[in-house]
Structure 1
Amino acid sequence: MSAIDNSFSMTHDTQFVYRLLLELTARPGEVGSIRQAADKIGLLPGAGDVALAVAYTLLDSEVGCFADVERLPELAGVIRLRTLSRSAGASAADYLFADGTQAPGEWAGSVRRGTLGEPEMGATVLLLVDALEAESRSSAGEQPEGNAVRLMMTGPGIEEEHRLLVGGLDPRWLACREGWNEEYPTGVDLILYTPGGEVAAIPRSTQLKGA
């Protein structure tokens, strides 16, 4: 079947989302949009459909998924039904969906980080936030507005330093990420997404600090 929900294509739309996620992973902190694909789903309008567009792209029956998104109580069930992925605890899940505007749950301490022999077995955590915006050099010295957090990034794929403004991110996630990635190359990759379809990737290889 070429479409799961409404006009969302499991061939063309998932290819689009996958290519964009690859590009964003190669350019940490850059912001892209999957809204065009997500809006075709129509099951959980807004943030839910954005999460589902990513889930349809990355999940299948071979992977385990964990969801703890307070704003999207239906998400875990819909993901299991539509992707046939396995429901897993946080320590066994390949992909974890969480609410980045809320403090990390106790489960965050058990997220899989891979091993030195198999670092690729580390999990990917997808955090729902309110807003994402790549910061221009002209505004880099200004105080972020509202509840935005400025993330300053260096590392592979970043020429010098990249700055990303993240609205609504609970800063305790930054401490959590630091713990996950303290023994590189083991660690956890992050994907941030918004209800409007903006997406940014922060792989484990990126050095990150908040300001």
Structure 2
Amino acid sequence: MAPAVFVPAEPLVFDEAMVEYGHRIDDPEVGWFKSRLTADQLRETDTARAEEAGEILRRMGHDDEYEVFLSQYSPMRDPFLHELRVRLFRRDRYLKVAHANRGDPAKHKEFISTSVFEQRLLENWYPHTLRAAGMDWPADLRARAAAASSGEPHVSPVSREILTGFTERQAQAVLGALLLVVALAAAYNLRQRRRNMPPPS
């Protein structure tokens, strides 16, 4: 039996200090994921930019240029291409790791399921660009991978740092916290001013 090979920590794909807001998109077939684009924007962009984005991926969509790609097509500059490239990377990486863990049925199923999940998202949300880039799975690989996967719904960690909702209760809590900070700062400032006042003559 070949020794199990485990997935190493994924390389840093985001270098952002600012808070980003986006959208949770539910896919009844596979689960849900986050994106900086709405569901309609994803579909429209995939149709409109398929040839252009496909050419970029054919030219720069190799693992040895992964970090360069993410830097050039950052989430702020081009969220569509950035998120798509990260999904392709995860799909291909977990497929390789699943193959390396054939001797461990549990690990193999876990990794192949992640790879299949990303492939299904690519098929459902980036179909035109996927074909234009020549990066879609052939039918036989799709069938074999699907048969080996768990078939259970997944949640994609891609763009996990995006905030997708801000409820009224959360807004009230944040506002209350800000007001408290302002009140405490004002009280502290008043005490400092009184302390520094000269004594009455």
Task: Decide: shared fold, TM above 0.5.
Answer: no
Query: Which structure has the larger Rg?
Result: 2
Larger proportion of helix: 2
Q: TM-score range by the shorter chain?
A: under 0.3
Higher relative contact order (CA 8 A, sep 6+): 2
Larger proportion of strand: 1
